[in-house]
Structure 1
Amino acid sequence: MQPTPEPASAATPSPRLPGGEREIESLAEFDELAAHGSIAGCRIQAIDLTGRTAALRDCDAKGTVFLGCAMEQDAVDAVRAAGALVFPPVPGLPFNPYRGLLYTPDELFAGLAESGYEATPDARAYAWFQETKADGDVFSSMLRAIHDDSVSDALDELLVSARVVGVMGGHAMARGTEEYEGAARLGRTLARAGFTVATGGGPGAMEAANLGAYASVFRDEMLDEALELLAKAPSFTPSVTEWARAAFEVRERWPSGGASVGIPTWFYGHEPPNAFATHLAKYFANATREDGLLARSNAGIVFLPGAAGTLQEIFDAATPNYYESRGEPTPMILVNHTHWTTHLPAWPLLQSLARGRSMESKIALVENVEDAPAALASCSSAT
């Protein structure tokens, strides 16, 4: 199936590149520039330009790069003759490798209500990944790399000037538990304090933190009611469909919630993305996703109890902090003393790494999730 080009939007002007080129990611932006007779040097991403043949013939397109834009052949011939480079849409893909914007839950879960999760773009992209990742086809691996680079570019544009706090934790944390409620309240507190909440974008603790950010613009009672509704489908197993439908029921009852970011991966495609992260930067490469999530958490990271994945994230975040020599180390807050000192004793090793270094004042272990925001503030102000 040919991926649908990005919809037109009244987005703010796209950023200019170092050489002065401009990224165009909506039809409205294209029309604005085309009206002045020049799109020279622009990078135009995943826009349906089939109705803009006349404008494309008339515009100066020297040095312009078209990435996955649907165009009539006359328009393709005209812009190439003018000195443009055209990368046409790739047929037969369940995703657009040249996308200019991050995903939304509505986009990834399209068709959920009518046909169930297996029919959604998210599930179909995972199926494509499973089919192609082991065959060694350079074209498939190139498409995955282009897609992930496009997602990183869109994520950077979204987070310009944002104070991002990452919330890490296990995918197994079930709805209806005290731990899930605590993670949701943490996300709400952070969002109301002006932070952009970023998670791994999946279920469990990740969903809870994104839910809290979503709930931050509503009265306090909304979160209590939402938690009760979600508890009817505690886990994404055995049915992703029922789990996701419960989330969309909450979104339909309380539309236009607070913004947050989820950064999931099709590498763990059996774990679906959650519907409460308003912006989803979904990757094929898990290493790119992990590094991107931690590197963009510039205002601190809170680590809730988790297993191997969360443990890996702790030391992935600790490494740049350990070698930090010019800037400020990123605050790291670990939640649950028993978990991080006895069950998975990451805290003693983290303390040993930090001793005598600038990161020593930037790490903390707290017992309860309610204490994490205060610990984050204390570590942020420590010198």
Structure 2
Amino acid sequence: MSDQNGVDEHPREKQRGPVVLRRGRRDELTTTDQRLLDSRGPTDWVHTDPWRVLRIQAEFVEGFGALAEVPSAVTVFGSARTGRDHPEYETGRKLGGALAEAGFAVITGGGPGAMEAVNRGCSEAGGFSVGLGIELPFEQGLNPWVDLGVNFRYFFVRKTMFIKYSQAFICLPGGFGTLDELFEALTLVQTKKVTKFPVVLFGKSYWQGLYDWVKDSVMAGGKVGDKDLGLLHLTDDIDDAVRVVQEAHQAWADSH
């Protein structure tokens, strides 16, 4: 949108950690994670990587400081590609509202699609709606229903925040990012790095195939046990998902 002098009042922007880039500055195609992890190229990384530790440390400090006062929360993952007219969007909206009414804050990746739907439902219900964004090579700012937003450069810092400040994970239908977070959470629970931490797969028609594969191939092959499969709760019912979260949170509270 431009004013009468042709000045763009709301230019498109890209976020790099806490930094906002607009207009020509948006054209940088690489990300901080890529520059850290891509070992190809000259050996000047030997001289620059030690200094990156300070930036990584700063992201942890910023995240811990921003999220320390967040009440009991549930992280909800889902596809950024879910359209607002898709039934899964309305499901996410209702789920966010139900979690807020149950007294939980919600944490998402802060982006569009299913993440936006959950943040929106939570915010509309008067809950605490949190978004943890990430620097990407394409534009994706925080959605407008995020009450508290933190933008990260590094995926591993962001993942720490998801785990540290959540009492449960709920996975709506999603892609590689959702699957990544799902299996990382399962690994942390399986190895007892986190306890009393339910993982809910919401949407039986979407997740049933994955669940069956884990049961019929992974577990049948002896790669995981019965207890490991029991870490997953598959449901289509919002009240059931909230119940699982509440019971796990109460069990955690009783143990402390």
* Short-chain TM bin: 0.7 to 0.9
Q: Which has the higher contact order (CA 8 A, sep 6+)?
A: 2
Task: Name the residue aligned to 2:66.
Answer: 155
1:1-383 mapped onto 2 (5 Å cutoff) = 114-118=9-13, 122-124=20-22, 127=26, 130=29, 133=32, 134=35, 138=48, 141=52, 144-159=55-70, 162-217=71-126, 258-267=127-136, 269-297=138-166, 299-324=167-192, 328-342=195-209, 345-346=210-211, 348-349=213-214, 352=219, 355-357=225-227, 362-369=231-238, 371-378=240-247
More strand by share: 2
In structure 1, distance between residues paired with 2:211 and 2:160: 19
In structure 2, distance between residues paired with 1:119 and 1:333: 32
Deviation at 1:150, TM superposition (A): 3.0
Deviation at 1:300, TM superposition (A): 1.2
Amino acid at match of 1:338: S
Task: Name the residue aligned to 1:47.
Answer: none
Aligned length: 224
Runs (5+) with no aligned partner, structure 1: 1-112, 218-257
C-alpha RMSD of the superposition = 3.4
Amino acid at match of 1:185: K
**Structure 1 stretch displaced more, 115-124 or 261-270:** 115-124
Asked whether the 8 Å contact 1:267–1:285 carries over to 2, the reply is: no
Aligned with 2:187: secondary structure? helix
In structure 2, distance between residues paired with 1:153 and 1:259: 17
1:291–1:346 CA distance, 2 compared to 1 (3 A)? farther
In structure 2, distance between residues paired with 1:163 and 1:314: 20
Deviation at 1:164, TM superposition (A): 1.3
In structure 2, distance between residues paired with 1:329 and 1:197: 18
Amino acid at match of 1:333: V
In structure 1, distance between residues paired with 2:58 and 2:85: 36
Asked whether the 8 Å contact 1:301–1:333 carries over to 2, the reply is: yes
Deviation at 1:276, TM superposition (A): 1.1
Asked whether the 8 Å contact 2:119–2:130 carries over to 1, the reply is: yes
Runs (5+) with no aligned partner, structure 2: 1-7, 36-43
1:269–1:143 CA distance, 2 compared to 1 (3 A)? farther
Aligned with 1:264: secondary structure? strand
**Normalized against structure 1, the TM-score is what?**
0.51
Measured against aligned partners, the alpha-carbon deviations of 1:27-59 in whole angstroms (never above 9, x if no partner) come to: xxxxxxxxxxxxxxxxxxxxxxxxxxxxxxxxx
Q: Which has the larger radius of gyration?
A: 1
**Normalized against structure 2, the TM-score is what?**
0.73
Amino acid at match of 1:155: A
Measured against aligned partners, the alpha-carbon deviations of 1:113-139 in whole angstroms (never above 9, x if no partner) come to: 823223885344984974674495828
Amino acid at match of 2:204: H
Aligned with 1:263: secondary structure? strand
In structure 1, distance between residues paired with 2:229 and 2:14: 49
Asked whether the 8 Å contact 1:151–1:282 carries over to 2, the reply is: no
Asked whether the 8 Å contact 2:29–2:137 carries over to 1, the reply is: no
1:366–1:119 CA distance, 2 compared to 1 (3 A)? closer
Asked whether the 8 Å contact 1:267–1:286 carries over to 2, the reply is: no
